[in-house]
Amino acid sequence: MTNQVYTDYFFDKTAFNTQDAGYVPLEPMDTPQVPLNIPPILTPDAETDDSLAYTITAQTGETQILPGEKTKTWGFNAPLLGQTIVLKRGKHTRVHLRDELPELTTFHWHGLNIPGPIADGGCHAPVYPGKTRDIEFDVNQPASTAWLHAHPCPETASQVWHGLAAMVIIKDEVEAALPFPRNYGVDDIPVILQDRKFHDHNQWNYQADYDPDGVQGPTAMINGTVNPYFDVTTQRVRLRILNGANRREWRLHFTDDLEFTQIGSDGGILPAPVTLTHLMSTCAERHEIIVDFGKYHDGDEVILYSDDTPLIHFRIHQFVPDNVELPTHLVDIPDPAVDPDLPIKRVVMSGMDEGVMIDNTKFAMQRIDYEMPMGKCQLWDITNTNDMKVGMIHPYHMHGTSFKVVSRNGHDPYPNEHGLKDVVSVNPGEHVVIKVWFDVPGIFMYHCHIIEHEDGGMMAQLKVIDPKNPTAKYQLMDHHTLMAAFAKERGVSMDELWMGGMESYKMFGMSM
């Protein structure tokens, strides 16, 4: 392993969210420490050597998050967030989706390379209240940490804020052979980072907190718990960090600037471990790290912070020494050759607040913005035209594929960006070149993952064409149908219907 230890956050400081006029700082909590919630693993309906079946229910619930009144929350097979869904490479997976919410939703598999638009679960695949939908797909991608979240346009941000986000863990034999901790809940821990504002009676009020540049709250919530502690009983602990926040960037570091090792990014295990003391997580990114508590003793406490705010208190207990050296090479990353016949595809993310757009327009559900052949590799140049002094970092996400970061403004990607990714954050004024290829066909969205930006139209969609079935037809939903359904479900007229993202379209006189 290289002995280099990286001690900075890599991104442009002048564009950190702390520089934003609407920034909501995190406030340390004085509520009693509570055990970190570890979402249970979802039990399959059936499993064979080559297949796996689940039922996933979007539901309402109530959750004791703060002392006093419970908070009304939503989740997948749980009152808040979800049960953790384990998928296995090589298995054909059937999922029975059920909507028990008072309104329509969708079930988007963020990070899964499965066909769109229906299995993928973006805005074209609604499930209405009281109804179900059955999907199936093959899991054929490396072990990784992905997630399931709601994605109905333009109501994604509000539904994720209510709690519709669950961790998905993909397993395979390559990862299983590496010397990583993987005892779920003991030394392999989900860390879903979110922030909320608690209003009267400990309730959330998305509309009251609305900000077109992304809703924030002053209270950090980790796996649905506020001010959590975790009992460390092993020397090494693996954290599967998921930024599940609508807008917040997390700048993570530990007590004593403890070094840790990043072993995975969005799309799977890194080619080589990277040692860090600081890590910035932007919206929807996943970072798998291993923290070695070897220099601490029974009774010590190590704190994970974001900026200056404590997030998790790691309470150290006795553990058996475990001084495993990680190999210098972890996994091989696919790196297909770029097809010489495909020109560089350019994507321009522009604007802030209600003015956000991709390629100078806002998302339209019935419009296909680009087509690309399945199985071929192309360079995409993603840029952010925000001003360096007053701009913001936009996390660019693609559905249905993992990509490889080639360069940032012509320079090497950040040291922890050499694995597969499905989110890459772009600094103001920067060009990030990525290699894009799809193994599955269909209609897929690509967008900024500040969720209010995607709802506000900073999103587009492409058609990936299977050469064996070039005339495949896809049924695409339209905004009017979805909005009419939301209005009916809420018992209001279309004029009375409020959705944050709609304001962004209205302000620019654009139809959805």
What does the binding site for Cu ion look like in residue numbers (CB under 5 A)?
394, 448, 450, 453
Closer of 228 and 456 to Cu ion (Cβ): 456
Closer of 133 and 399 to Cu ion (Cβ): 399
Q: Least distance (Å) from Cu ion to the CB of residue 81?
A: 23
Cβ atoms of 8 and 44 closer than 8 Å: no
Closer of 450 and 512 to Cu ion (Cβ): 450
Cβ atoms of 392 and 252 closer than 8 Å: no
Q: What is the Cα 53 distance to its own chain's centre?
A: 23
Q: Which residue of the chain is nearest Cu ion when measured via CB? A: 448
Q: Least distance (Å) from Cu ion to the CB of residue 394?
A: 4
Closer of 167 and 392 to Cu ion (Cβ): 392
Q: Least distance (Å) from Cu ion to the CB of residue 53?
A: 36
Q: Cα angle vertex 320, ends 318, 323, to 5°?
A: 125
Cβ atoms of 432 and 396 closer than 8 Å: yes
Q: Which residues contact 412 (CB under 8 A, 6 or more apart)?
A: none
As beta bridge partners, residue 250 has 281
Q: Least distance (Å) from Cu ion to the CB of residue 218?
A: 21
Among 112, 141, 420, 138, CA closest to 269: 420
Q: Least distance (Å) from Cu ion to the CB of residue 509?
A: 21
Closer of 192 and 448 to Cu ion (Cβ): 448
Cβ atoms of 268 and 420 closer than 8 Å: yes
Closer of 88 and 449 to Cu ion (Cβ): 449
Q: Least distance (Å) from Cu ion to the CB of residue 449?
A: 7
Residues 41 and 35: their CA atoms lie apart, in Å, by 17
Q: Which residues contact 67 (CB under 8 A, 6 or more apart)?
A: 31, 32
Q: Least distance (Å) from Cu ion to the CB of residue 113?
A: 23
Closer of 408 and 449 to Cu ion (Cβ): 449
Cβ atoms of 322 and 236 closer than 8 Å: yes
Helix, strand, coil shares of the chain, percent, nearest 5, are 10, 40, 50
